[in-house]
């Protein structure tokens, strides 16, 4: 097979079918091997897809959705707080060079630190309920969005600003018609990165100390050495993760809309 190939459309269709079969086949093979491993080996440790599915069904009838809802709620609330705050701060500091120069070391300091690791601090302050997770998600999201917005505002071409001023734009018009649209790509970019992080932050918070949530499900199963439960919780977490990832990719599509042909 060479690197550069041109294929007929019939060839492409056949290819696509092959890929699809391959994918399905791979997943089935994995499930099959796991199932056999569980039955032949020790099911307590290895578990098996069938057991996991049964457990999920049992949980679904019980309180699975409550846990899912908790995690999603923590994410949503954190995003609702963190995103607007980050955008506002980014725009404000992006336009205030003196202030941002002074605050620079604090900002860089915060950026260097993996904020998720400060989860215990938050739990110390806020306790075991949702609040510390929401705060954690908000803070993590805030910094991500802030940095992207800040960079976006700073990156606006000075010549564009000059040309608008010469045309007679007021500072407000300059902001509305230039700064905002120009940095929107950056903001969306930040948002795209922030979504998976929101999930990670919520999960970390829940795993350290919580009474509800998917992270909590993981640790609870682990502490009982309930491997089936553990895998089941991980599967649900994975599904949520995929959903979040898909949303993030959709955002990317929007960003690229006018960039694709752009300079």
Partner 1 sequence: MSGAVPALRMPPAGRSAGGWRAFVTRPLGTAVIRTATLVILLAAWEWMSGTIIPKFWISSPSAIVAVLAGWIADYSLFGHVAATLTEMVLGYVVGAAFAIACGLCLGLLPRVERITAPVVTALYALPKIALTPLFVIAFGIGLESKIVLVASTVFFLILYNTLDGVRDIDRDLVEALEIMGATRGEVVRKALVPATLPWIFTGLRVAVRYAFTAAILGELMASNEGIGYLIEASAGDYNAAGVYAAVFVLVVFSVLFTELLTRTEASSLRWRV
Partner 2 sequence: MSTATQIALEGASKEFVGRGETVLALQPTSIEIARERFVALVGPSGCGKSTVLNMIAGLQQPTSGRVVYDGNPVTGPNRQVGYMTQKDTLLPWRSVADNIGLALELKIRSTSRSDRDNRVAQMIELVGLKGFERHYPGELSGGMRKRVSLARSLIYEPETLLMDEPFAALDAQLRLVMHDELLRLTRLRRMTVVFVTHDLGEAITLADLVVVFTGRPGRIKTLREIPLAHPRDAFRLRFSEDFARLHEELWNELKDEVAKGTDR
Q: Are 240 and 68 a contacting pair, CB within 8 Å?
A: yes
One of 61, 105, 253, 262 touching partner 1 (CB under 8 A)? 105
Residue 124 interacting partner from partner 1, partner 2, none (CB closer than 5 to 8 Å by kind): partner 1
**Is 215 one of the binding residues for partner 1 (CB under 8 A)?**
yes
Q: Which is nearer to partner 1, 84 or 101 (CB)?
A: 101
152, HSE (Cβ side, Cα atoms, 13 Å): 28
Residue 107 interacting partner from partner 2, partner 1, none (CB closer than 5 to 8 Å by kind): none
Q: Which is nearer to partner 1, 38 or 87 (CB)?
A: 38
Name the minimum Å distance from CB 173 to partner 2.
6
Residue 262 interacting partner from partner 1, partner 2, none (CB closer than 5 to 8 Å by kind): partner 2
Count the helices and strands in the chain (H runs, E runs). 12, 0
Residues that bind partner 2 (CB under 8 A): 157, 159-160, 162-170, 173, 177-178, 181-182, 258-263
Residue with tokens 């202030």: 99
**Is 85 one of the binding residues for partner 1 (CB under 8 A)?**
no
What CA–CA distance (Å, rounded) separates 31 from 27?
6
**Is 159 one of the binding residues for partner 1 (CB under 8 A)?**
yes
Burial environment of residue 106 by CB neighbours within 10 A (0 to 12, 13 to 18, 19 or more): exposed
Q: Are 72 and 108 a contacting pair, CB within 8 Å?
A: no
| Percent helix, strand and coil across the chain, each to the nearest 5 | 85, 0, 15
Site string for partner 1, 37-76 (x = CB under 8 A): ----------------------------------------
What CA–CA distance (Å, rounded) separates 249 from 193?
10
What CA–CA distance (Å, rounded) separates 21 from 7?
20
Look at residues 60, 37, 59, 40 and name the one whose alpha carbon lies nearest to residue 49: 37
What CA–CA distance (Å, rounded) separates 146 from 96?
14
Q: Which is nearer to partner 2, 41 or 181 (CB)?
A: 181
DSSP class of residue 41? S
Name the minimum Å distance from CB 191 to partner 2.
17
What CA–CA distance (Å, rounded) separates 91 from 100?
11
Residue 49 interacting partner from partner 1, partner 2, none (CB closer than 5 to 8 Å by kind): none
Q: Are 49 and 235 a contacting pair, CB within 8 Å?
A: no
Q: Which is nearer to partner 2, 91 or 139 (CB)?
A: 91
Q: Which is nearer to partner 1, 23 or 58 (CB)?
A: 23
Q: Which residues here bind partner 1, judged by CB under 8 A?
A: 2-4, 15, 18-19, 22-23, 25-27, 30, 98, 101-102, 105, 108-109, 111-114, 116-121, 123-125, 158-159, 161-162, 165, 171, 196, 199-200, 203-204, 207-208, 214-215, 218-219, 221-223, 225, 227, 230, 233-234, 237-238, 241-242, 244-245
């Amino acid at each position: 097979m060479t690197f550069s190939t041109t294929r007929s459309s019939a060839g492409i269709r056949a290819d696509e079918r092959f890929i699809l079969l391959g994918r399905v086949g791979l997943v089935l093979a994995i499930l099959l091997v796991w199932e056999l491993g569980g039955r032949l080996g020790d099911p307590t440790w290895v578990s098996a897809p069938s057991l996991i599915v049964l457990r999920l069904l049992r949980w679904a009838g019980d309180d699975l959705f409550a846990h899912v809802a908790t995690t999603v709620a923590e994410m949503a609330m954190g995003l609702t707080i963190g995103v607007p705050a980050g955008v506002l701060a980014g725009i404000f500091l992006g336009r205030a060079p003196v202030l941002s120069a002074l605050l620079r070391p604090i900002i860089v300091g915060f950026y260097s630190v993996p904020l998720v690791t400060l989860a215990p601090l938050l739990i110390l302050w806020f306790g075991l309920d949702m609040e510390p997770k929401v705060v954690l998600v908000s803070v993590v999201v805030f910094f991500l969005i802030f940095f992207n917005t800040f960079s976006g505002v700073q990156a606006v071409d000075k010549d564009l600003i000059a040309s608008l001023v010469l045309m007679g734009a007021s500072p407000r018009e300059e902001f509305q018609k230039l700064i905002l649209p120009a940095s929107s790509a950056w903001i969306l970019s930040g948002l795209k990165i922030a979504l998976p992080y929101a999930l990670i932050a919520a999960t970390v918070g829940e795993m350290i100390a919580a009474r509800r949530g998917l992270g909590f499900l993981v640790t609870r199963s682990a502490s009982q050495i309930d491997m089936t439960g553990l895998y089941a919780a991980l599967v649900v977490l994975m599904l949520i993760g995929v959903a979040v990832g898909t949303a993030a990719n959709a955002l990317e599509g929007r960003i690229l809309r006018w960039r694709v042909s752009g300079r």
